[in-house]
Each structure stands twice: as structure tokens, then as C-alpha cells.
Chains A and B, each alone.
Chain A
Amino acid sequence: MRPFEYERPSELAQATSLLAEHGPEARPIAGGTDLIIRLRDGSLRPRVVVDVKGIDELDGDIRDDDGYLRFGALTTMTEVAANSRVKRDYPALVESALFVGSVQIRNRATLVGNMCNASPAADTAPALLAYGALIVATGPSGTRHLPLEEFFVRSGVTTLARGELVVAIELPNPTSPRGSVHLRRTRRRGHDLASVTLACAVTPDGKTRIAYGSVGPRPVLAIDDSGRLADPTLPDTDKAGLLDQLFAGASPSPTSMRASPEYRLAMLRVLGLRGVKSAIDRLASAQA
């Protein structure tokens, strides 16, 4: 690994000022399960690595905050998957967190880091998009909240400004019963990156939120509020056409090693139908 400077600030303002000062030459580290691989293979060569785990204002807590469930920047995938509140209200997030790496990776990898790494295949991104997640970012000019769908640009690139650090992710509390699910397609069972990943949430007002990843430069959120996708009586052949419109944001890379574009798009349609059906079934049992 190439040498770098290591800073472990104790205050948020010190961290954001280090990030502002060094810009692209600085990289924050939380869990490090993606970053250290890229430091070692040389694809990232920062001059300074800023460890955010010593910052007093940051935590790994999952707690209620004024209508939202708030995940601190240091919350690990293991903590997400084990939290009873998340299990009850955001089951697709639990399912996706349990797909991340192995026990060892989940003990270290953070939910916020999975977003900041901005991989198109980020396992937890579709579930967070489907649940309407907000990114909370703090930088030299203050703190702002932005919808997660405005955060991703392309692999490894986000809309964070120079000096900004994500301090939390917030999920709005459910306002009605909801059926939701996360599905993914991999080359093999177990520890693998996703070829297609998809989350779906259906509510009694007929709204279907469907989010998908690993089929383009960034995870995508699409919403159907016609009520037709959520209709348990509408045949799959009709739903397939509706889903194709929602999947317009998919543009899989022809050069990926994991799967061909044709395969990914075909599997996206399969997961779409399965996801909608499963979400409808879960909504029905939530209302039973």
C-alpha cells in the first residue's frame, strides 16, 4: 500500500475542514471495507485518510428523530440487520444489509459508507431509495438534507460538495401499513457482488416504489402511482409492460465481468415481477 497521512479528528469541524482543504486528495474512512481494498490496489491514492470514527458528533446509533429513523454515520450493517425497529418497519433494508459481504465485512462496513462509496451495485441502496431515505451532509457551509436519489452520480461519485461529510441517513416513519422486499441476483450463493438488485414497497394507497441497482451507472428509483402495479388482480403480463416503463433508467454496462446487459435486463424484469408480488403479499399479511 502507498503511504498516506492519517488524521483522526475529534470534532466534526476539524474533519470537514481537512476534507475541504485537501479536496480529492483526502478520503474519509469509516468501515474501510471498500476503501482499504482500493488503497491497496492503487486505484485510489489519497494523500490524507481522515478517520471519522473519533469524531464526537458522530455515532453508530439508530434512533427516532422527529418523524424519522436516523442512522448515524458509524452504524454498521450488523447493527442495521439486528435492530428490532428496522426489522419491523424496514424489512427490505434488513434483507439487503444481510447480503453485504460476510459477517466480518458486516461488522465493519457502515450503511453510510455503502452510500458514499456510490457503487451501482450497493446492496442497501435500492431499499433505502424505496423507503425515501434522506442523506444528511455537513460541510463548511452548514448541514443539508437531500433525497438519496439526488445523491448518486456514477460509480464512486456523489453530489457531495468539497468538504462535505455524510453524518447520517434518515428514513421517514411509515404512515400506513406497507409491504416491502429486497431481492438480488448473484452469480453464486454467498459472498458475491450483485448482478441485479431490486427493492419494492407497496402501500394501501396503491403507490409502488421500486428501486434497482447494478444495471447502470447508479441506483435508480421509479414510482408507479397509477395503482395498477399494486393491484393484486392485474395479471403479470400487464404488469410487465408497466415495469418496462419504470425500468427505463436501466443501462447496464456491456463491459462488466459479472453479467451481460441482456442478462441483467432480463433478470431485472423477473425480479421486478417477483418483487411486486412479494410486496403485495406482505402488505396483505400486514393488514390481515
Chain B
Amino acid sequence: MTIRRRPLELTVNGRSRSIEVLAHHTLLDVLREDLGLTGTKECCLVGECGACTVLLDGHSVDSCLVLGVEADGASVTTVEGLAIDGRLSPVQRSFLETGAAQCGFCIPGQLVSAHALLADVAHPTRAQVEEGLAGNLCRCAGYEQIIEAVLIAADATDGDVIADDDLAARSAMLRMLGDRAATPDADLAPQ
């Protein structure tokens, strides 16, 4: 059988991308390997852990369960698209303030799910946050801080800003951005 690449046009974090992909590569593969966006994490590959969560046309999905070719014409938002000009979103800031990031590996998926939840329900109850993030596992078991962070973000105002030059927060903030240098899969990042 001939394995041919197929054209794929999609918008990722607001930027139009036009590439060629293999049909059996997932959206997760495309984001990480073809586009170098390693904030989205690869973990269970069966849709249980949520580390690969992205927004596909505004809806949260496990990108390990979407073929890259299925995303043709779609708009994708990854964790890298949550901060604007290096300025953290309210959800990212409140994750930072509550210490919700421990090892940081699950945080990009948690953040994307939290964004999707708050876009849908501006002021969720604790039960709604638990259900909204039920598809995102944290092996550090930082659930209390994560849930607290989402509840705080729902009530945050633009005044609650952490200065980008706060060195104590710098490492944790990199995790909020899904930055490869701060996460355990740094070796896999394209050079």
C-alpha cells in the first residue's frame, strides 16, 4: 500500500497552518511533531487522562483520539494559545496563585479544560468544576488546588495580575505556558 501524505489546512492558536500529514497520525502527533507545539502532552493515548486536551472549533477534545486529517479546516487552540503576548489568562494566573501546578505535566490539559468549562459556564459550582475536569487526571493528586484555581478564576478580575518578572513564580509560570523546558518531556522537543 502506498502511504501518501495528505494536505491539511487548519488554524492553530489563531495562525493559519498548511502542512502535509499522514492519515494515521493523530492531531496530537501533528501538533507536537509537525508543528512543534509540545505544550500539549502525550500520555495515556486512550482518552482517559486528558493530558492531550485541546479545543477543536471551541470544544475540548482529546487530541490523541482525533486524526490529524479530521481537523482539516478546523480551528485548534492549544495551551500555547491561552496566554496572549506572554500575559497569562485569568485561569493560568489563578493556577499559579493557588499552586495548582506540581510536576506540571497534566497542567496544559487541565488549563484547556478549565477554559472550555468557563467559556460554557461562567460561574460554575464546585460540582460542575469536578465534572468539567473529570477527564483530566493529575498523578500528583493536586485536585484540591486545581478545583480551587478554577473557582477563583471564575471570579477573577483583570486587577489580579502577577508581575511577569516575579522570579519566584517564573518556573511555575512556564508550566502554565506548557513550556517544554519546564516539563518532563524536554528531551522530546524538536531542536
Contact = CB atoms under 8 A, between A and B. Distances in A.
Interface of A: 1-6, 8, 29, 32-33, 36-37, 39-40, 47, 49, 51, 53, 78, 101-105, 107-108, 190-191
Interface string B114-156: 0011000000000000011011100000000000000000000
B67 A29 contact: yes
Nearest to A32: B65
Contact of B62 (A47, A104, A190): A104
B181 interface: no
Contacts of B53: 104
Contacts of B56: 107
A39 B46 CA distance: 11
Interface of B: 1, 3, 6, 22-26, 45-48, 50, 53, 56, 59-62, 64-67, 69-70, 72, 113, 116-117, 131-132, 134-136
Contact of A101 (B3, B6, B135): B135
A145 B89 CA distance: 50
A33 B63 CA distance: 10
Nearest to B116: A103
B3 A104 contact: no
24 contacts: A3-B22, A5-B23, A8-B69, A8-B72, A32-B70, A36-B64, A36-B67, A37-B65, A39-B24, A49-B67, A53-B70, A102-B134, A102-B136, A103-B60, A103-B131, A104-B50, A104-B62, A104-B113, A104-B135, A105-B62, A105-B65, A108-B65, A191-B48, A191-B135
Contacts of A32: 65-67, 70
Contacts, number: 88
A8 B68 CA distance: 13
Contacts of B117: 103
A36 B48 contact: no
Contacts of B135: 101-105, 191
Contacts of A105: 47, 62, 65, 135
Which of B48, B113, B116 has most A Cβ within 10 Å? B48
A195 to B, nearest CB: 17
A29 B26 CA distance: 13
Given A4-B23, A78-B59, A103 B65 contact: no
Contacts of B62: 33, 104-105, 108
Contacts of A107: 56, 59-61
A191 B134 CA distance: 7
Given A3-B24, A4-B23, A104-B50, 16 more contacts: A1-B24, A1-B26, A4-B24, A32-B67, A36-B67, A37-B45, A37-B47, A49-B67, A103-B60, A103-B116, A103-B134, A104-B113, A107-B56, A107-B60, A191-B48, A191-B134
Contacts of A191: 48, 134-135
B166 to A, nearest CB: 33
Nearest to A192: B48
B61 A108 contact: yes
Nearest to A41: B46
Given A191-B48, A191-B135, A103 B113 contact: yes
Contacts of B69: 6, 8, 51
Nearest to B73: A54
A190 B132 CA distance: 11
Given A32-B70, A103-B113, A104-B47, A6 B60 contact: no
A136 to B, nearest CB: 24
A190 B59 contact: no
A47 B66 contact: no
A191 B72 CA distance: 29
Contacts of B116: 103
A105 to B, nearest CB: 6
A235 B65 CA distance: 48
A69 B113 CA distance: 31
A33 B65 contact: yes
B120 to A, nearest CB: 9
Contacts of A6: 6, 23, 67, 69
A36 B45 CA distance: 9
Nearest to A54: B72
A190 B23 contact: no
Given A32-B65, A33-B65, A36-B26, A104 B60 contact: yes
Nearest to B59: A107
